[in-house]
Structure formats: C-alpha cells, structure tokens
C-alpha cells in the first residue's frame, strides 16, 4: 500500500531486452498495471538497438509484405508487434511495455532500474547512465556473474551500486526465461536490503547498517556501495519496503520470496553457471543422470564454501540450500539452461563452447564461461584453486588443459 501522503509513483525501467530482459519487462508491466498507486503503468525497456529481419518462422512474417525481408530496427518492431521476435519469439508483451533504444531517455526520472543485461555490458551501460539518473534511484540486478579485478572480487549488484552511487539489490532463481514468459509456475528470490531511510526510518545519511558492509571478499576489500553516501528516497514516493518490491515482481505464475542476503543471491546466480557447464560436459559424454547429480552435489558444496570463505560476514548458507536462487537454480540450470546445453553440444560435436554460443544462440549470451574465468582468476590470486576442484576443472576444460573425462578424478577429494 502507498504511504499516506505519497503523491508520486515509481517509474520503472528494465535495462536490457534479451530473453530474460524481455520476460522481465512482461511480468513487471503486468504488475505496474495491477498496482497503480505504487507504480507508473508504462514500463520502459531499454533495447540495445540492432537491425533485424523478421524470421520466416515468426507468426509476424508476411511473405507478401514489402518489409518481409528488409532489416528493421528491433525497438520499432517491439513497439509495433508487441513482441521481441529475436530474443523472445511468440510471446505477446503487454502494451505498456515501451521499447526505447536511448538508455538515458529510458532511465530518465526512473526511481527503479532493473538491470537484466549480460554481464559483459554492465560497465559500459553504467558509464552511460552515470549522472543521468535521479540520485535516489534504486536498482535490482538480475544479471548472473561476478566482477574480478586486481583489487578482488565484487558482486554485480555491488558493481552497479558503486558505478551509479545508488543502492542495488538482486533477483535470482530457478528461472529459465522461456518458461516464465509462457506463465508456467516458478519461484524466485529477491534480495533487497534497503537503506533504512527508504522505510522512513531516520538513520543518518550514509550510515551503513550492519548488513550494509563487507559485501566484498574481506581479504581483497573493494570499497562497497553500501557504505557510499546513498540519497534517501523522497517521502513523496511510496516506500520501497519488501512488500512493495515484492509487488513489482510477484505474479500468480512467478512466486517471489524476499530476503536480505544480497551476497548469497548474487553469488548463487553466478556460481551455478559454472556447475551447469560441468553438468553439460558429463552429459555430453553420454554419462547419464548419476554423473550429472554427482557434479551438482560437488558444485553446491563449492558454492557454499565460496560464500563462507570469501563473503563470510554477509552470506547466509541457507540462501544456497533453501532458496530458489540456490539448489533449485542449480537443478534447473543443469537440466535445461543454455550453459548446460551449449557445454553438452560442445562435447558432442568436439568444438569449443564459444563456437556453439556463436552459432546456436542467435545473439543470446552465455555467462558461465566468463564466470568460470573470473572465479578462477580470483581463486588463483588467493591460492585457493585446489579447494574448489570442480570450479577449477571447468576452467581447465575451457582452457583445453583438461578433458571432461577427467572430471571424476579431478573432483575426487584428496587425502
């Protein structure tokens, strides 16, 4: 419910328009329409502009039309067809989703920014947004990955928060986008640990709460956005309480659990993609479900150990084991995710996973390969590769230094 006296509504922008970005726009737009006291009905969806021709198999392809084989701007196609024919074909978007190729215009005056971009594009997009958003905006990262530099490891929610000087939470779960777009039931986990000022609790500006610190590996500390001087949300806006954030995402087919463990949710989403690659490798060998279950078991243990080793002050182990973003996401990703499917195809065809990504995904991006490299570079810098044998095996397979057939030996505990 809006607070008494709140006059303004939150403007929401989805930053990204791929398979998950477009699905997110659909479900969020359904919710902004259903909650008119909290949110402006129109949802802007930033589209990385490209020219595409409508695929022949599309329900919108009209062989007799003069536009049939002519390249057209993706943003214009989304707005005229109410469908993203390239990244989410055959799903009708609500008319209140407006595709906008201008990132600054799409985010202008938005109080809620939902980042659903492949990891590799986050930095550039944030650079373009810096100084062009309202300073009290809040963000949610739906991107799966981590940032590693010579300074250490950082969650993507942190990267976005630091780059834009705003607070950023995280959404992650067992969420294969195409199923959610078809309104098949799934769960998700939203971690939002808002600054107390957003709940009308007058904590002094810039004071981190106990849960607002140490979201980076302490041994390689990078300054956290959570101790940055965050601007309070003006009182004319409905507070961004857990209840109101939940209303933005929860649908009858998309069940949201709100938590405060931003680090656990962000890390789960990133690390499970390495496990999914391992599952794809063993499945590609034709080894069956028992082999997949074995790498999933070891992978979940390594995810938990990674959180405990490097984010001990912020991560809750239960996030990995009890929430959709943990074990459940490992399971779904190892059954039908893109990382799993591409790793499997790479082994079956004897080609690199990058080649499979280029030839089979029609512009969609894998996040598991870059995460495996980033995590390995961090583990190596910490002298901890041996403590994470599955993550290390996946990296070595991608590098051509090990073979998928060696996975059982590589993950066997050493006495």
Ligand X SMILES: O=P(O)(O)OC[C@H](O)CO
Specify the residue for token string 């656990």. Answer: 264
- Report helix, strand or coil for 100: strand
CA-wise closest residue to 180 among 336, 292, 339? 336
Query: Which residues, in sequence order, are CB contacts of 236 under 8 Å at separation 6+?
Result: 5, 6, 7, 8
Residue 314 lies near ligand NAD (rule: CB under 6 A) = no
The set of catalytic residues is: 272
- Select the binding partner of residue 174 from ligand NAD, ligand X, none (C-beta < 5 to 8 A, by kind): ligand X
Residue 333 lies near ligand X (rule: CB under 6 A) = yes
- Select the binding partner of residue 365 from ligand X, ligand NAD, none (C-beta < 5 to 8 A, by kind): ligand NAD
Nearer to ligand X, 9 or 144 (CB): 144
Q: Which of 157, 225, 339, 392 binds ligand X (CB under 6 A)?
A: 339
Give how many residues touch ligand NAD by CB under 6 A.
Answer: 24
17-25, 197-205, 307-315, 377-385 -> range binding ligand NAD (CB under 6 A): 17-25
Radius of gyration of the chain (CA): 21
Q: Residue 354 in contact with residue 331, Cβ under 8 Å? A: no
Element (H, E) at 10: strand 10-15
64-72, 138-146, 231-239, 297-305 -> range binding ligand NAD (CB under 6 A): 138-146
269 assigned ligand-binding residue? no
Residue 157 lies near ligand NAD (rule: CB under 6 A) = no
- DSSP state, residue 361: S
240: burial class by Cβ within 10 Å (0-12, 13-18, 19+)?
buried
Residue 238 lies near ligand X (rule: CB under 6 A) = no
Rounded Cα–Cα distance for residues 310 and 67 (Å): 54
Rounded Cα–Cα distance for residues 38 and 6 (Å): 9
Residue 338 lies near ligand X (rule: CB under 6 A) = yes
Shortest reach from residue 240's CB to ligand NAD, in Å: 22
C-alpha separations of 99 from 6, 48, 68, 179, 386 in Å = 28, 10, 21, 22, 46
Nearer to ligand X, 88 or 133 (CB): 88
Q: Residue 328 in contact with residue 173, Cβ under 8 Å? A: yes
- Report helix, strand or coil for 328: helix
Rounded Cα–Cα distance for residues 24 and 13 (Å): 10
124-132, 299-307, 332-340, 347-355 -> range binding ligand X (CB under 6 A): 332-340
Rounded Cα–Cα distance for residues 258 and 193 (Å): 10
Residue 87 lies near ligand NAD (rule: CB under 6 A) = yes
Shortest reach from residue 119's CB to ligand NAD, in Å: 5
Shortest reach from residue 254's CB to ligand NAD, in Å: 12
53-61, 116-124, 333-341, 350-358 -> range binding ligand X (CB under 6 A): 333-341
Per DSSP, helices labelled H in 242-361 are: 242-249, 262-284, 289-310, 317-322, 329-336, 338-349, 353-360
Q: Which two tokens stand for residue 205?
A: 């500006």
Residue 61 lies near ligand NAD (rule: CB under 6 A) = no
Nearer to ligand X, 111 or 369 (CB): 369
Rounded Cα–Cα distance for residues 270 and 372 (Å): 9
Residue count (the chain): 415
51-59, 106-114, 118-126, 211-219 -> range binding ligand NAD (CB under 6 A): 118-126
Residue 268 lies near ligand X (rule: CB under 6 A) = no
Q: Which of 32, 35, 111, 175 binds ligand NAD (CB under 6 A)?
A: 175
Rounded Cα–Cα distance for residues 365 and 351 (Å): 17
Binding mask 231-250 for ligand NAD (x = CB under 6 A): --------------------
Shortest reach from residue 241's CB to ligand X, in Å: 26
Ranked by CB distance to ligand X, the top (closest) residue is 337
Number of Cα atoms under 13 Å in the Cβ half of residue 251: 21
115 assigned ligand-binding residue? no
* Residues in the annotated binding site for substrate: 144, 338-339
* Residues in the annotated binding site for NAD(+): 16-21, 121, 177, 338, 365, 367
* Residues in the annotated binding site: 16-21, 121, 144, 177, 338-339, 365, 367
Contacts with ligand X by CB under 6 A lie at: 144, 174-176, 273, 276, 329, 332-333, 337-339, 367
Contacts with ligand NAD by CB under 6 A lie at: 16-21, 48, 87, 116-119, 121, 142-145, 175-177, 363-365, 367
């Amino acid at each position: 419910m809006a607070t008494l006296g709140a006059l303004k509504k939150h403007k929401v922008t989805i930053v990204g328009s791929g398979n998950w970005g477009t699905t997110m726009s659909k479900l969020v737009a359904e919710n902004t329409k259903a909650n008119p006291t909290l949110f402006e009905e129109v949802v802007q969806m930033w589209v990385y502009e490209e020219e595409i021709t409508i695929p022949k198999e599309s329900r919108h392809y009209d062989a007799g039309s003069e536009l049939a084989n002519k390249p057209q701007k993706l943003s214009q196609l989304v707005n005229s067809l109410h469908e993203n024919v390239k990244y989410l074909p055959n799903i009708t978007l609500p008319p209140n989703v407006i595709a906008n190729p201008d990132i600054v215009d799409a985010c202008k005056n938005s109080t809620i920014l939902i980042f659903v971009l492949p990891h590799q594009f986050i930095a550039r997009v944030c650079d373009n947004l810096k100084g062009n958003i309202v300073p009290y905006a809040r963000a949610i990262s739906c991107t799966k990955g981590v940032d590693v530099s010579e300074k250490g490891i950082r969650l993507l929610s942190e990267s976005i928060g630091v780059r834009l000087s705003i607070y950023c939470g995280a959404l992650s779960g067992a969420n294969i986008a195409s199923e959610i777009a078809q309104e098949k039931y799934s769960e998700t986990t939203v971690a939002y640990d808002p600054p107390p000022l957003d709940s009308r609790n007058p904590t002094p500006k810039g004071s981190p709460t106990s849960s607002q610190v140490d979201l980076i590996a302490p041994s390689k500390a990078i300054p956290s956005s959570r101790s940055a001087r965050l601007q309070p949300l003006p009182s004319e806006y409905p507070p961004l309480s857990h209840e109101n954030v939940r209303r933005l995402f929860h649908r009858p087919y998309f069940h949201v659990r709100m938590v405060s463990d931003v680090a656990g949710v962000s890390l789960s989403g990133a690390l499970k993609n390495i496990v999914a690659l391992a599952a794809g490798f063993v499945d590609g060998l034709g080894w069956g479900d028992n082999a997949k279950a074995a790498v999933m078991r070891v992978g979940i243990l390594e995810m938990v150990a990674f959180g405990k080793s490097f984010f001990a002050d912020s991560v809750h182990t239960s996030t990995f084991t009890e929430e959709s973003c943990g074990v459940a996401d490992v399971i779904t990703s190892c059954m039908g995710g893109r990382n799993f499917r591409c790793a499997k195809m790479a082994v079956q065809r004897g080609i690199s996973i990058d080649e499979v990504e280029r030839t089979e995904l029609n512009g969609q991006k894998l996040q598991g390969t870059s995460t495996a490299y980033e995590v390995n570079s961090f583990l190596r810098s910490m002298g901890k590769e041996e403590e994470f044998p599955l993550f290390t095996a996946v990296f070595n397979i991608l590098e051509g230094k090990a073979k998928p057939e060696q996975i059982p030996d590589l993950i066997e505990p050493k006495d």
